[in-house]
Amino acid sequence: MWHQSNILPNYCRFDDKENVSGINNVKSSVQKAIRAKLLEQFPYLETYLEDILSKKDSLRVAKCQDHIEILVGKDGEYLFFRQREGPFYPTLKLLHKYPFMAPPMQVDKGAIKFILSGANIMCPGLTSPGAKMANVEADQVVAVMAEGKSHAVAVGLTKMSSKDILNINKGIGIETVHFLNDGLWHMKPVK
């Protein structure tokens, strides 16, 4: 599901039967705290959060290996995930519905095949012709867009600010944590 890194373990062959150890309902007080954290991380979701995580519906959490939690919505779809108490990452399916929730970082066409195999995004892939960057700081959850594509191809975490990516222009710019056709993308909704 996620690229091997110091953030999340490599679950490219993530299987809900194998990796999900249990699904629990979340108490309303915990749900309130989760909603607050999501709004803090993704302020553009404020008017849409009720559609995504309705206060009327019970929120469920799928517990996985390595302390990974996946928030499960009312229709059993996977919405956000995180490891331990780390930042929440939107699933690509949710990001495709609400593409404005995370700052876009566009890579050039040459980087697409590497991202779709789970590779991290190197700085030159973000600074070459065809690439575009939002103004972000380090440790920001971002939508990884690709030149010529209309939907995000990955979700990642910036390892340095846009300014540093541009000035240093070497090393890892974005750590990939979820990408098209990985295990999380293929997981079936929870019943």
Hey, what are 46's tokens?
Answer: 């404020």
| Radius of gyration for the chain, computed over Cα atoms and rounded to the nearest angstrom | 16
Q: What is the structure's pLDDT at 141?
A: 97
| Domain annotation covers residue 72 | yes
Domain boundary among 68, 96, 124: 96
User: d(Cα 124, Cα 181) in Å, to the nearest integer?
Assistant: 24
pLDDT, residue 55, reads: 85
Taking CA atoms, 129 is separated from 103, 126, 169, in Å, by 19, 9, 13
Instruction: Determine the pLDDT at residue 17.
Output: 54
Whether the model pTM is above 0.85 = yes
Within this chain, do residues 112 and 82 fall inside the same structural domain, yes or no?
Answer: no
Task: Determine the 3-state secondary structure of 106 from DSSP.
Answer: strand
Kindly report the CATH number assigned to the domain that includes residue 126.
3.10.400.20
Q: Please list the ranges in the chain whose pLDDT falls under 50.
A: 1-13
Report pLDDT digits (tens) over 54-99: 888 889 999 988 888 999 998 899 999 998 889 999 999 999 999 9
36 with 56, same domain?
A: yes
pLDDT of residue 21: 83
DSSP codes of every residue in 117-154:
TTPPEEHHHHHSTT-EE----TT-EEEEEETT-SS--E
pLDDT of 5 reads 41
Query: Domain range holding 167?
Result: 104-179
Compute the distance between CA of residue 175 and CA of residue 108 in angstroms, rounded to an integer: 16
